[in-house]
Amino acid sequence: MVCLGNICRSPLAQGILTEKALQAGLPWIVESAGTEGYHVGEAPHQLSQQVAKENGIDISMQRCRQFSPEDMRFYDKIYAMDQSNYNDIKRLCGKNWQEEKVKLILNELNPGKNEDVPDPWYGGIEGFRDVFEMLDKACEKIIEPHQFHSS
């Protein structure tokens, strides 16, 4: 899960997908990173922590880190929150770029629309709640094909 600062959006995405994978019994490694290093080592934004908590998810132990080209090798899937994150990942990876692994996360929900998860950094709690809702729906789509259905 990749955004610009790894402080607002991608920590929420990490928390949400981690929780859904856990509930589905999937042994997935879910991580997040930022394309910039402004906040490396910091905990997620207070409002991201609050909105996660309102939804029963604790993201307080997460610490910001910067995206590295090694992540492209290690992970099967890289989700960008918006188009500029996508372009920055491509730039940071250089020759290690693997197009088939990288996707705009909202394309899981609305395929082909290339929609951005808006950056809530400059706004209030409502923006963070909107981001949570979008990411929750997108992560549900990511999990769906891997879920075991009894009956």
Active-site residues, by number, are 3, 9, 119
Q: What is the DSSP letter of 100?
A: G
Instruction: State yes or no: residue 1 binds ligand 4NP (CB under 6 A).
Output: no
Q: % helix / strand / coil in the chain, to the nearest 5?
A: 50, 5, 45
Of 1, 4, 13, 52, which one interacts with ligand 4NP (CB under 6 A)? 4
Distances (CA, A) of 146 to 26, 28, 79: 8, 11, 17
What is the footprint of ligand 4NP within residues 89-148 (CB under 6 A)?
A: 119, 121
The nearest distance, CB 64 to ligand 4NP, in angstroms, is: 8
Instruction: State yes or no: residue 8 binds ligand 4NP (CB under 6 A).
Output: yes
- For residue 34, give the nearest of 83, 77, 89, 74 by alpha carbon: 89
* Residue 21 parent element (H or E): helix 9-23
Q: What is the phi/psi pair of residue 95, to 5°?
A: -75, -10
Of 1, 5, 79, 105, which one interacts with ligand 4NP (CB under 6 A)? 5
Per-residue binding string, ligand 4NP, 10-49, x by CB under 6 A, is ------------------------x---x-----------
Chain residues that interact with ligand 4NP, rule: CB under 6 A: 3-9, 34, 38, 119, 121
